[in-house]
A = this chain, B = another copy of it.
Amino acid sequence: MDATAGPLALVAGAGRLPELVAASLDRAGRPFRVLAVRGFTERAMRRRADAVVDLLDIPGTLRILKAWAPEAVVPAGSVARPSPAALLNAAHAVRNRDILRALAGGDDRLLRAVLALLEENGHRVLGVHEVAPDLLGQAGRLGRHAPDQEAERSIATGRAMLAALSPFDVGQAAVVTAERVIAVEGPEGTDRMLARARTLLRKPFGYGTAGLGAVLVKLPKLGQDLRIDLPAIGPRTIDRAAAAGCAGLAIGASHTLVIDVERTVAAADAAGLFLIGLEVTP
């Protein structure tokens, strides 16, 4: 795998992901430098930063990367959904309506544009899934519990429905029972969708109850660029799925980041939820 070659440039966005990737690279003995993004990179990674750039300081970023000449650039952590203050700063810096609209869009357009720019400048861009595969969920049963027959039907339904939705720019997750779709994730994200599912599944004489095999199915879109948008779950996802009345979770094996896998599996085991990785084609 290419990921075992020369030094990397880890571009550290917001959240815990850059730290997890750094730890994974450390474990693998892979050398890397850290490029922090002002206002996004968390404290733990700022301490390790070899350089700091402003969001949208494209010339500065390219200058640093040219000097480092890394084997590949690895973006990790969010730079989408900046705060209004960060947006206003960027507005002063950029004065480019397209980029501002990409920013305000809150979706992947910004990161997509930056990746294209890096590649145009001769950089190779690798995803977290390529350089730190140990952070991804494996195929098969990840915890103690297994789906029953009803849950297997729910998984099949969810899988088919997400495949049908794949051509559209909509969420990559759903809560599904064997008989009906309870919730389809939109831009609100998995946590809020699970809160909605909780309301629908838990109400007395509602659309289902725990035991009817409701499953959180979370899969990448067909052809999704995992460098830009890597599905992720963690202990909190388990807690919220349990609260919603789900019998378990099905994720895309080798296509889903499992944040803190030991705690995530322990949470699933403790809550009586299954957690399985489904084979998916890229």
Contact = CB atoms under 8 A, between A and B. Distances in A.
Interface of A: 81-82, 84, 87, 103-107, 157, 160-161, 164-165, 167-170, 179-184, 186-188, 196, 199-200, 204-208
Contact of A157 (B157, B168, B206): B168
A207 B101 CA distance: 10
Q: Which 7 pairs across A and B sit closest by C-beta, in order of nearness?
A: A170-B181, A184-B184, A169-B180, A164-B164, A161-B168, A104-B205, A183-B186
A170 B184 contact: yes
Nearest to A81: B205
Contact of A168 (B105, B160, B206): B160
Contacts of A82: 205
A69 to B, nearest CB: 36
B165 A186 contact: no
A87 B205 contact: yes
Contacts of A205: 81-82, 84, 87, 103-104, 106
A184 to B, nearest CB: 4
26 contacts: A81-B205, A103-B205, A105-B179, A105-B207, A106-B206, A107-B207, A160-B168, A161-B165, A161-B168, A161-B170, A164-B164, A164-B168, A165-B165, A169-B181, A170-B180, A170-B184, A180-B187, A182-B186, A182-B187, A183-B186, A184-B186, A186-B196, A186-B200, A188-B199, A188-B200, A196-B196
Nearest to A196: B188
Contacts of A170: 161, 180-181, 184
Contacts of A187: 180, 182, 200, 207
A164 to B, nearest CB: 4
Contacts of A183: 186, 188
Contacts of A186: 181-184, 196, 200
Contacts of A169: 179-181
Nearest to A199: B188
Nearest to A88: B205
A179 B106 CA distance: 12
Contacts of A208: 105
Nearest to A183: B186
A104 B209 CA distance: 10
Given A87-B205, A164-B164, A168-B164, A107 B180 contact: yes
A125 to B, nearest CB: 23
Contacts of A204: 84
Given A161-B168, A161-B170, A170-B184, 16 more contacts: A103-B205, A104-B205, A104-B206, A106-B205, A107-B207, A157-B168, A160-B168, A164-B164, A164-B167, A168-B181, A170-B180, A170-B181, A183-B186, A184-B184, A186-B200, A187-B207
